[in-house]
Amino acid sequence: MNPEKGSYAILSHTWGPDEVPFQKDLTSAKWMQEFAKIEKTYELAKEGNIQYAWVDTCCIDKSSSAELSEAINSMFRWYQEAAVCFALKGSRWIRRGWALQELLAPKNVELYDGNWEFMDSKDSQLLDALSEATVIDSIYLGGDDYIWSATVGTQMRWASKRETNRLEDTAYCLLGIFDINMPLIYGEGDKAFIRLQEEICKQTNDLYMFAWTEQPGNPLSYSSPKKHRGIFACHPCEFAAFQGLHRRDVGCNFKGEFAVTSRDSPNTRLQRLSPPK
């Protein structure tokens, strides 16, 4: 997918039991349960004089690992450059991990209910309600560049109560939020979230990425049966109580440099490369 910026509409939704896949001809898919949202997305785009419409279920060939990897690594940009994002709002959508980037990236988001009745747009009075429901301050919901000024701890908190069907997607759905590109390895489990944090370390010296709090009830916790764990969180839920600054400033950034190393321990450690200035 490489359309001109602003030339297409895009859909944000939760997947149902009978989605139309890439391999299915749309003409013969009209009787499938989830075809209606593809048709409605097209109709809304046409009404808005938008040339193209994009829906992930039928526009990504998930049978190709290379295409799937490229799509997930590019997804934030695709939503960011869409003319409009149509979002089917509901309780599942609010909790969905992938919906986070779909809510933050586009400048223009129109929200619809399950019957495709228009509810409101993201830049209206609905913004405060969305902020309360998603624990994302309204300043970051504007679709501009404000999200890049948030601390890593704040960005992680946005994902702290979100759900994904696959464990690896806990990390993969955050790639665009942190402007990270990395290979997808389905089957690696919770190691994906560790890899994500290692990549973040290479791009920032924001120490709030270590301001997580262990959640004893979290089934992914490393604290049992192990006595010790590394410096990284094991899940975004460990940032749920984060109360740090909402904007990056000199106070939250380490003045020197650090790198990830496994020296002296099987757990990941942090190595200071230069002293603070």
Which amino acid is residue 18, in one-letter code? D
pLDDT at 130: 85
Encoded tokens for 259: 């790198």
Q: What is the pLDDT of residue 261?
A: 72
Which amino acid type is present at position 110? E
Q: Residue 179: its pLDDT value, please?
A: 94
Q: Where are the beta strands (DSSP E) in 92-219?
A: 109-112, 118-121
Let me know: does 203 contact 220? Beta carbons within 8 Å.
no
pLDDT of residue 277: 45
> How far is residue 200's CA from residue 263's CA, in Å, rounded to a whole number?
19
pLDDT attached to residue 55 = 95
Q: Are 209 and 201 in contact (CB under 8 A)?
A: yes
Reading the block at residue 15, the tokens are 């997947």
Residue 161 has which token pair?
A: 């109560």
Average pLDDT across each block of 10 residues of the chain; the chain has 277 residues. List them in order: 85 91 89 92 96 94 93 95 92 89 92 91 79 87 80 94 94 96 94 95 89 78 58 93 66 63 55 50
Longest CA–CA span in the chain (Å) reads 65
